[in-house]
Amino acid sequence: MENEDHRVLIIIPAYNEEETIAAVIEDIGLHTRGASVVVVDDGSRDATQLIAKSMGATVLEHPFNMGVGAAVQTGFKYALECGYNICIQVDADGQHPAEEIEKLLEPIRRGKANVVVGSRFLEPSGYRPSIARGMGIGLFSRVVSAIVGTRITDATSGFRATDLKAMKFLKDVYPEDYPEVEALVLLHKGGFDIMEVPVSMRTRQGGRSSITAGRSVYYLIKVLLAIMVDIMKKIER
Amino acid sequence: MIQIISIAISLVLFVAVIDLIRRGLLKEKYSVLWLASMLFVIVLAVWKELLARVSMLVGVAYPPTLLFLVAFLFVILILLHYSVAISSLSEKNKILAQEIALLKNRIHDKQPLSEEKR
């Protein structure tokens, strides 16, 4: 990108996303100049990996499924190994438009935050979650806001930018499943600055949400429990 | 009767655990709690007065039930020990899998190892 000091890596964690992965990579190619793309294939059993490779993306292949958190973490490890200093997480299901990536990058380039979260709720974006999902997102956002001390409106958003310092921190502590909310709490405890920017998102373009009715209960309990434990955890800064 | 059964079961398990260690199927690290629990039960079952006294102390009306309480507490301890061990194994397993993913990519790219970490 323009600034030579900033090498940007786009991390796409993917698990069985053959329907959408090609469009996501293409979208990124159209809207970012010079950013590298790494797809972390979290043990997919479909053609995700083949398609990603044929689109020219670097593919890191987990030998088995370990959860989206582990996939993002692998991405961080790769970024640090290769000398990237900004990471952008983009979902493989097409929810995150590549044209919004620049909005996430800008505050990091100017050193205004260590982690920038793309929020669907800062400005009216036309996104309408179901009632249950909306309540879940609202609850998590309120809990995280209370802990972090700044207003967070979209704590479950996986559309994020992370700077070098935060990457080095997260590569050892990133949660395995449903990591988004917990990661914010950990980052806050680690002394990092979190900032939200308004972005628009699309509804998923294919595949299925990992959060089904049955799992949402597990999700809710697991994340709330993890947050409570995180608050008590000792974290080396 | 409950005394004899307790002693018998504990002795059989004790020998079984020792044999498993001898054959290399069980690591000493994971056998300590097993052996300790069996020794405890055996001692309490053989030494009736101690059993009676401890029962009085903790308010157990029928002393042989104390044997079950002790055995049960040890089972819980052993299970907790395993949960901790599994958590640590699964974390290590994840780190290994991630390392494999990174190495596989590097082999694929034929990047020389010396170029890592700038």
Long-range CB pairs of B33-37 (<8 Å, 24+ gap) are B33/B74, B33/B77, B33/B78, B33/B81, B34/B78, B36/B74, B37/B70, B37/B71, B37/B74, B37/B75, B37/B77, B37/B78
Q: Is A50 exposed, middle or buried (0-12, 13-18, 19+ CB in 10 A)?
A: middle
- Assess if CATH 3.90.550.10 describes domain A8-232: yes
To 10 degrees, what angle do helices B64-109 and A68-82 make? 40
Residues constituting chain B: 118
Out of A63, A64, A81, closest to residue B102 by CB: A81
In this complex, do B98 and A61 lie within 8 Å of one another by their Cβ atoms? no
What range defines the domain where residue B44 resides? Answer: 2-115
Q: Contact, A152 vs A194, CB < 8 A?
A: yes
What pLDDT score was predicted for residue A211?
Answer: 66
Between B101 and B4, the more confident residue is: B101
Please report how many Cα atoms fall inside a 13 Å half-sphere around the Cα of residue B64, on the Cβ side: 7
Residues of B with CB below 8 A from A78's CB? 102, 105
What would the 3-class secondary structure string for A154-189 be? CCCCCCEEEEHHHHHHHHHHCCCCCHHHHHHHHHHH
Instruction: With H, G, I as helix, E, B as strand and everything else as coil, classify residue A150.
Output: coil
CA distance A216 to A214: 6
Please tell me the distance in Å from A59's CA to the nearest CA on chain B.
Answer: 7
List b or e across B79-114, with b for residues whose CB sees 16 or more CB atoms inside 10 angstroms: eeeeeeeeeeeeeeebeebbeebbeebbeeeeeeee
ipTM value, please give it.
Answer: 0.84
Please tell me the distance in Å from A61's CA to the nearest CA on chain B.
Answer: 5
**pLDDT by residue for chain A (237 residues), tens digit each?**
444 568 999 999 999 999 999 999 999 999 887 789 999 999 999 999 999 999 989 999 999 999 999 999 999 999 999 999 999 999 999 899 999 999 999 999 999 999 999 998 888 766 677 788 888 888 889 999 999 888 899 999 999 999 999 999 999 999 888 899 999 999 999 999 999 999 988 877 666 666 677 778 888 888 888 888 888 877 665
CA distance A40 to B104: 12
Out of A58, A63, A176, closest to residue B100 by CB: A63
Q: Given CB atoms, is A85 within the 8 Å cutoff of chain B?
A: no
In this complex, do A40 and B101 lie within 8 Å of one another by their Cβ atoms? yes
CA-wise closest residue to B17 among B74, B68, B65, B63: B74
What pLDDT score was predicted for residue A165?
Answer: 95
What pLDDT score was predicted for residue A205?
Answer: 67
3-state helix, strand, coil in chain A (%, to 5): 45, 15, 40
Show the tokens assigned to A165.
């310092």
* Number of separate domains in chain B: 1
Which residues neighbour A29 within 8 Å (Cβ) at sequence distance 6 or greater?
Answer: A37
Q: Given CB atoms, is A14 within the 8 Å cutoff of chain B?
A: no
Please tell me the distance in Å from B103's CA to the nearest CA on chain A.
Answer: 9
Domain boundaries, chain A: 8-232
CA-wise closest residue to A14 among A133, A52, A34: A52
CA distance A230 to A190: 11
Q: How far is CA B116 from the centre of its chain?
A: 41
